[in-house]
Chain A
Amino acid sequence: MAVVFQKPHSLIDVPLHYCPGCTHGIVHRLVAEVIDELGIEGRTIGIAPVGCSVMAYDYFNCDMIEAAHGRAPAVATGVKRSDPENNVVFTYQGDGDLASIGMAETVHAAARNENITVIFINNAIYGMTGGQMAPTSLPGQVTQTSPYGRDVNHCGYPVKVCEMLSELEGPEYLERVTVNNVKQVRNAKKAIKKAFQNQLDGKGFSLVEVISSCPTNWGMTPQAALKWIDEKMIPYYPLGCYKDRSAEKEAE
């Protein structure tokens, strides 16, 4: 009998700890499918962040490293530089990890065009610690530490990571996707695959920002959370490719 659907080999068959309706599970699966399709599981080393996906090391079948909060791109730099010809290195980071405490590591890994793949989960909130304001929380967004809504006069504006990094000469590829419907999931997978393929081709720093949902800490049902992505998140964080240096060069 032909197998038409199965779990990716590079995703370990264990229950994930994520909340119902959280999109981490989808993104984990996409990353694993890409690793399978590219046949790189045996030489891939993943770097888990601090945050909801801290235990990603228990889910991916490839070698895994747990990094300090925000330091995944620096750890990935070390791993990549230890064996640049063979290693495939990816980080998997949330918004607090990548865009707040680890901003310096993110920006400089991008500026160096470090040949790594970065999967960036932007759900506009700190999930693991129970729903505090993130660097990407929207203006007016109510969180545990912005109980009256994010007041931009008091704590400033959200960080638009793809837009910001696209101003740098360094990075190869920056794309923002989401996973709130089937079509978007397919697009997200394409972007993730490209981000890994770029590394295999030696092209350099490739980051895919995935606009994700956090029904638990947004205080919504999973369905309402997916809708909120369309209504609130995407207008502020427009989807699309922010930089594709190789494509730009070809076009010239």
Chain B
Amino acid sequence: MADKVLMKGNEAIAEAAIIAGCRHYFGYPITPQTEVAAYMAKKMPKIGGCFLQAESEIAAINMVYGVSSTGKRVMTSSSSPGISLKSEGLSYLAGADLPALVVNVQRGGPGLGGIQPSQSDYFQATRGGGHGDFHMIVLAPASVQEMAELTVKGFELADTYRMTSMILADGTMGQMMEPVSLDFDIKEAPEKPWATTGTKMQREHNIVNSLYLSPEKLEETNFERYEKYKYIEENEAMYEEYMVEDADIVVAAFGIAARVSKNAVNEARSRGIKVGLIRPITLWPFPTLPFKKAAEHAKQFISVELSMGQMIEDVKLATDCKVPVTLCNRVGGMIPSPEQVLEAIMEADGGVK
């Protein structure tokens, strides 16, 4: 067991990316994720990597597109308003079936919003994040350890499925410090015969492209991509269940909201309330299975979010609206307190009885 080091969440992402073999990072400063760029700026030149501060988020994601076209592991990171700018590139990455890792350390919105933590980019991340039919694999860390682990996992999934993995963190995860173990078993990246690395005059030319003027052909690429998505939905969903087995009330929460909720669940349990927590770790694919299972015995779900209620729609979909789902939330950079979540549990408990 390797020693643990005390790191900020943003730094853990950067170090884990380097460990995962990422040698190219492009970004643009924006709070609260700038530590990722700062870490890369310091480290990359010393390990033969490339850190480049782009002129814009748009340029950064297109530099990512360029490196990814050549088959190398590459990433960018930003925060909410910057991710909106990157959404054009996210769509092109999807259309060209290119792997990439994109980090969103969310802040409050809409517009310039604020710089405090938020989860209000859930829709943007899980519904694709740009024009056209597509998905990204969306990973939601709830600790600094997971910031690192899911970064490694994100690169692996991106390469396996030739698509973007997004780390959907929030300002709290990015800024807080925790001990983290960086002892990872890195799998070798798959062969990338599609990469534009130069023909060496030994093969037909490769083309990285998302343009199909024939509607039949374009439809076919969409169908193929959604076959892949279906496989991912069936095989890659990740979640944590906490005291769900006998629960009358099930709290759904990810990231920082899940940590707050766990405290509330513990407190409610000590008061004799049968409550549990389902924490989605992948937001896309959404882990529908534990929700379906829990809906068989639970009488109420509570979605705890740092948004006006976005994940709640997936909870309702996953449970086929069989059980009422209520929302417990704060927004604009505010975080629900354990007391607020406890109150929502108590209220539900009153309703359950």
Binding site for B on A (CB under 8 A): 41-45, 47, 54-55, 57-58, 60-68, 71, 74-83, 86-88, 104-105, 107-108
Closest 4 CB pairs of A and B: A78-B66, A74-B62, A63-B196, A108-B55
Alpha-carbon separation in the docked complex, A75 to B162 (Å): 18
Chain B window 42-69, contacts with chain A (Cβ cutoff 8 Å), 1 for yes, 0 for no: 0000000010101110111011111111
Alpha-carbon separation in the docked complex, A79 to B66 (Å): 5
A-B CB pair tally, cutoff 8 Å: 132
On whether the beta carbons of A64 and B198 are closer than 8 Å, the reply is no
Q: Knowing A71-B62, A104-B59, A108-B59 touch, does A43 contact B198 (C-beta < 8 A)? A: yes
Other-chain residue from A63, A67, A81 in contact with B67 (beta carbon distance below 8 A): A81
Q: Knowing A66-B207, A66-B211 touch, does A74 contact B66 (C-beta < 8 A)? A: yes
Alpha-carbon separation in the docked complex, A65 to B62 (Å): 12
On whether the beta carbons of A64 and B208 are closer than 8 Å, the reply is yes
CB distance from B199 to the nearest CB of A (A): 5
Indicate if B206 sits at the interface (CB-CB under 8 A): yes
User: Which residues of the other chain, B, contact A64 by a CB distance below 8 angstroms?
Assistant: 196, 205-209
Indicate if B89 sits at the interface (CB-CB under 8 A): yes
On whether the beta carbons of A78 and B67 are closer than 8 Å, the reply is yes
Alpha-carbon separation in the docked complex, A252 to B39 (Å): 41
Q: Knowing A65-B66, A81-B52 touch, does A71 contact B205 (C-beta < 8 A)? A: no
Q: Knowing A68-B89, A78-B26 touch, does A42 contact B202 (C-beta < 8 A)? A: yes
Q: Knowing A82-B67, A105-B59 touch, does A74 contact B54 (C-beta < 8 A)? A: yes
User: Which residues of the other chain, A, contact B88 by a CB distance below 8 angstroms?
Assistant: 68
Binding site for A on B (CB under 8 A): 24, 26, 50, 52, 54-56, 58-60, 62-70, 72, 74, 88-89, 92, 96, 196-202, 205-211
Which of A44, A60, A82, A108 neighbours the largest number of chain B CB atoms within 10 Å of its CB? A82
On whether the beta carbons of A79 and B211 are closer than 8 Å, the reply is no
On whether the beta carbons of B74 and A61 are closer than 8 Å, the reply is no
User: Which residues of the other chain, A, contact B56 by a CB distance below 8 angstroms?
Assistant: 104
User: Which residues of the other chain, A, contact B69 by a CB distance below 8 angstroms?
Assistant: 45, 65, 75, 78-79
Q: Can you report 17 A-B residue pairs in the complex whose CB atoms are below 8 A from each other?
A: A41-B199, A45-B69, A45-B70, A54-B211, A64-B209, A65-B196, A65-B207, A65-B208, A65-B209, A66-B211, A71-B59, A78-B26, A78-B63, A78-B67, A81-B50, A82-B72, A105-B59
CB distance from B57 to the nearest CB of A (A): 11
On whether the beta carbons of B92 and A68 are closer than 8 Å, the reply is yes
User: Which residues of the other chain, B, contact A65 by a CB distance below 8 angstroms?
Assistant: 65-66, 69, 196, 207-209
Return the chain B residue nearest A68 by Cβ: B92
User: Which residues of the other chain, A, contact B68 by a CB distance below 8 angstroms?
Assistant: 78
Other-chain residue from A58, A63, A78 in contact with B62 (beta carbon distance below 8 A): A78
Q: Knowing A64-B207, A75-B62, A76-B66 touch, does A42 contact B52 (C-beta < 8 A)? A: no
Q: Apart from A62-B199, A71-B89, A82-B66, what are 11 other A-B pairs with CB-CB below 8 Å?
A: A42-B199, A58-B207, A61-B199, A62-B198, A63-B198, A65-B69, A67-B92, A68-B92, A74-B58, A79-B66, A105-B59
On whether the beta carbons of A77 and B55 are closer than 8 Å, the reply is no
Alpha-carbon separation in the docked complex, A58 to B66 (Å): 18
User: Which residues of the other chain, B, contact A76 by a CB distance below 8 angstroms?
Assistant: 66
On whether the beta carbons of B196 and A79 are closer than 8 Å, the reply is yes
Other-chain residue from B52, B70, B206 in contact with A83 (beta carbon distance below 8 A): B70
Alpha-carbon separation in the docked complex, A1 to B203 (Å): 29
On whether the beta carbons of A75 and B196 are closer than 8 Å, the reply is no
On whether the beta carbons of B200 and A43 are closer than 8 Å, the reply is yes
On whether the beta carbons of B89 and A57 are closer than 8 Å, the reply is no
Alpha-carbon separation in the docked complex, A250 to B89 (Å): 42
Alpha-carbon separation in the docked complex, A76 to B64 (Å): 10
Alpha-carbon separation in the docked complex, A68 to B57 (Å): 14
Other-chain residue from B60, B89, B92, B199 in contact with A63 (beta carbon distance below 8 A): B199
Other-chain residue from B58, B67, B72 in contact with A71 (beta carbon distance below 8 A): B58
CB distance from A163 to the nearest CB of B (A): 21
Q: Knowing A45-B196, A108-B55 touch, does A77 contact B208 (C-beta < 8 A)? A: no
User: Which residues of the other chain, A, contact B210 by a CB distance below 8 angstroms?
Assistant: 66
Return the chain A residue nearest B196 by Cβ: A63
CB distance from B104 to the nearest CB of A (A): 20
On whether the beta carbons of B24 and A82 are closer than 8 Å, the reply is yes
On whether the beta carbons of B196 and A78 are closer than 8 Å, the reply is no
Alpha-carbon separation in the docked complex, A104 to B52 (Å): 16
User: Which residues of the other chain, A, contact B66 by a CB distance below 8 angstroms?
Assistant: 47, 65, 74-82
On whether the beta carbons of B62 and A67 are closer than 8 Å, the reply is yes
Alpha-carbon separation in the docked complex, A107 to B96 (Å): 26
User: Which residues of the other chain, B, contact A78 by a CB distance below 8 angstroms?
Assistant: 24, 26, 62-70, 74
CB distance from B49 to the nearest CB of A (A): 10
CB distance from B312 to the nearest CB of A (A): 34
On whether the beta carbons of B67 and A66 are closer than 8 Å, the reply is no
On whether the beta carbons of B63 and A44 are closer than 8 Å, the reply is no
Alpha-carbon separation in the docked complex, A42 to B52 (Å): 27
